[in-house]
Structure 1
Amino acid sequence: MMRRSPSLLRRILLPRADGRRSVTYMPRPGDGSPRIVTLIPGDGIGPLVTGAVQQIMEAMHAPVFFETFEVHGDMPAFPPEVIESIRRNKVCLKGGLFTPVGGGVSSLNMHLRKELDLYASLVHCCNHPGLPTRHENVDIVVIRENTEGEYSGLEHEVVPGVVESLKVITKFCSERIAQYAFEYAYLNNRKKVTAVHKANIMKLADGLFLESCREVATKYPGIKYNEIIVDNCCMQLVSKPEQFDVMVTPNLYGNLVANTAAGIAGGSGVMPGGNVGKEHAVFEQGATAGNVGNQKLVEQKKANPVALLLSSAMMLRHLRFPSFADRLETAVKRVIAEGERRTKDLGGSSTTQEVVDAVIAKLDWVSHR
C-alpha cells in the first residue's frame, strides 16, 4: 500500500491560504492498491481524448489499468458486459457518446446513470490562470441530481399530436443530493450552498426539492444556505458569477447551469466532471461535449483533451492516489498558463498530441520541483 509522507498529507489536508482545500473529495473505494478502471472511448473525439489520458497515465506510471469496451451512442442499450465491468471495477472513465436527437432513441448516458444509480453529477467550473475570460474569481461547483426530474425520460403520446412528459421529484432523491452537496461543501471548506429551483411555478415538485434542501441545511450551521429561482440564476451567472460557490439543483436545471458556468469560466473543453453513486463513479468531460460529433476535429486530430485530463485527476483522487492527481493537475494547468500549446477552442492551433506531449514534459517539471 502506498504511504503518504507527512509533508504530502499536510499539503493535501490543510486549507489553502484562501481557506479552501486544493483537493476535491468524493466517496472513494479501495485501499490505495493498483486499480482496474473501465474505459469507454466513446464516439467522435472520444477515442482521441481518452487516448490522451492513457498516454499520460502511462508516462506518470500511475497504478491504474484500463479495461476497454467499444460503446456507441446509437446502440439500443449498454452491452451487459460493460455494465458488469463497471460494477466490478467500481470506476469508469468515459469519452462522449453521441445521443441522437428525436427518433425515439434513448440516451445511453441516461441509461448508465439509472442503471448504476449515479445520483450526483459534479462539475467544477473555475478560471484557469493564463486563460482569459470575461469574469475573474469564478470557482463554482455545480452538483446536480442525476436520476429523476425531466431527464427520467417518462414521456408518451397520449393521442396523435399530444405528448405527455412527466417530471418526477421524490423526497428521497432530493434529500440525498442535498446531503451530498452540503457534505461536499463541508469537506472542501466551501462557505455557501445555493439551491436552484422554480418553486414559484412548480410549487409541489420544486417545492419538495427546496423543503429537502432546507432540512439538510439545518445540519450544517457553519455553511451559508440560500435559494435562487433558475431564471434569475442564469442572469446572475452571466453578470456576477463570483457570488456562487456550491450550487445544488434538480436534474434539468443542473445541466443548464453547469454549461452556463462552464462557458463563463473558459468553455466546456477545460471543465472536469464526475457522476457518482453510492458504489460506482463515472468520470467524463464535465460540461456538455457538444463537439463529440465534430468530424473535422477528428480528421485533424485537434480535440481538446484538457477536460478529460482534469476529470481523470478527479478520478485519481477518488481512487486514493492524491499525489498522482496533484502531479497531473499541476502539469495540465501549467500548460494552460504558458499558452504555447492550446487547441483551437482555447485560441490556439495545436493538435491533441501536441497538448499531450506538452503535459508529459511538464510532468517531469512537476516531479523535480
Structure 2
Amino acid sequence: MYNIAVIPGDGIGREVMDACISVLNSLDIDFNFNYGEAGDECLEKNGEALPDETIELAKNADACLFGAAGETAADVIVRLRQELNLFANLRPVKSYPNTNALFDNLDFMIVRENTEGMYIAKEEEYTEEGAIARRIITRKAERRIIDYAFQYAKNNNKSKVTGVHKANVLKVTDGLFKEILYEVAKEYEGEIEVEDFYVDATAMYLITRPESFEVIVTTNLFGDILSDEGAGLVGGLGMIPSGNIGEDGALFEP
C-alpha cells in the first residue's frame, strides 16, 4: 500500500488530479489517497496558501500529486519543494503523435536544481528606488544535481549531458556550477559525453536544433525558463509533466 498525498489546488488542477487518479486506480497497485488544500482558494478560505496540515500530509506520504495554483503558485510549489528537500526537477520534452507539436522527433530531459539559486525567496526593497534579490549557489547542491543528471543519463541510455550556465558574466556562482560540471564528468568519462553552453545560446539552440539535446542540467531560474521553452516545442505546457525528486520523497505535477 502506497500513501499518496493529493493536492489538487486551483482551476484545472482538480480535473488533472481526477484523471490522474483514474489512471492510477486502473493499475494493479494499492494506493491510499489523502487530500490536502493549497492555492488561491485555500488562501481565501484559511488565510494561508499552504497550511501546515498540507505540508505534514506531504511529508508523511510516499509521494505527492500536485495539480495547479494561481497567483499563489510560488508560495505553494516552491515551499513544498524546499520543505520536502526535492532537489531535482525533471521536465521531459517529448514529442507525441497526434499533437500540435512543432517537432515530431524530440525526446530529452531538462534536469533543474530545485532548492537554491534565484528562487530562495530572499528579496527586499531597500529604498523606494530599488530592490535586491539574492542568488545562492552551493557546491553541495550543484554537485548533487549534476551527479543526478549524469546518473539519469546513464540509467536511461543517454549519451550526453549538457550543462547550461552564464559563467561568462556570473563568474563566481555560475563559474562554480561549470567547475563542478566537469569534475563530475570525469567520473563518467568514456560513458557520458559532456558539453556546456551559455543559457542564451541554449535558448537559441532549443529552437534551431533541439534534437541535439539528450539531458540538460542547469540551475533553478534557467531551468524554469528553458523548460517552458521546451514545452512550446511539443505542444504547450500541458504536454510536459513535472517530477520533483528528493532523497526521501517525490512530488509530481501531471
State the TM-score, normalized to the length of structure 1: 0.65
Q: Is structure 2 residue 235 aligned with structure 1 residue 263?
A: no
Over the matched positions of the two proteins, sequence identity in percent amounts to 38
Following the alignment from structure 1 to structure 2, what is the Cα–Cα distance between the partners of residues 90 and 47?
Answer: 21
Q: Is structure 2 residue 42 aligned with structure 1 residue 70?
A: no
Following the alignment from structure 1 to structure 2, what is the Cα–Cα distance between the partners of residues 99 and 230?
Answer: 27
The equivalent residue for 1:281 is: 250
Following the alignment from structure 2 to structure 1, what is the Cα–Cα distance between the partners of residues 100 and 7?
Answer: 32
**1:189-242 alpha-carbon deviations (Å, 9 max, x no partner):** 111000000001000010011111111111111100000100110111011100
Q: Is structure 2 residue 123 aligned with structure 1 residue 155?
A: yes
Aligned with 1:173 (options 132, 136, 141): 141
Count of matched residue pairs: 248
Counterpart residue type for residue 80 of structure 1: D
Q: If each structure's strand is expressed as a fraction of its own residues, which one has the higher value? A: 2
Q: 1:58 deviation in Å?
A: 2.7
Q: Is structure 2 residue 61 aligned with structure 1 residue 93?
A: no
Counterpart residue type for residue 146 of structure 1: N
**More deviation, 87-96/65-74:** 65-74
Counterpart residue type for residue 242 of structure 1: E
The equivalent residue for 1:143 is: 111
The equivalent residue for 1:197 is: 165
The equivalent residue for 2:2 is: 35
CA contact (8 A) 2:50 2:75 kept: no
The equivalent residue for 1:226 is: 195
CA contact (8 A) 1:38 1:67 kept: yes
The equivalent residue for 2:25 is: 58
Please report the RMSD computed on the Cα atoms of aligned residues, expressed in angstroms: 1.6
Equivalent residue of 1:98, what SS? coil
Following the alignment from structure 2 to structure 1, what is the Cα–Cα distance between the partners of residues 31 and 16?
Answer: 17
CA 96–54 in structure 1, closer or farther in 2 if over 3 Å, else same? same
Structure 1 residues without counterparts, runs of 5 or longer: 1-33, 285-307, 309-369
Following the alignment from structure 1 to structure 2, what is the Cα–Cα distance between the partners of residues 110 and 100?
Answer: 10
Larger Rg: 1
The equivalent residue for 1:365 is: none
Counterpart residue type for residue 180 of structure 1: Y
State the TM-score, normalized to the length of structure 2: 0.93
**1:331-367 alpha-carbon deviations (Å, 9 max, x no partner):** xxxxxxxxxxxxxxxxxxxxxxxxxxxxxxxxxxxxx
**1:171-206 alpha-carbon deviations (Å, 9 max, x no partner):** 111100001100111111111000000001000010
**More deviation, 43-52/244-253:** 43-52
1:236-275 aligned within 5 A: 236-275=205-244
Q: 1:156 deviation in Å?
A: 0.6
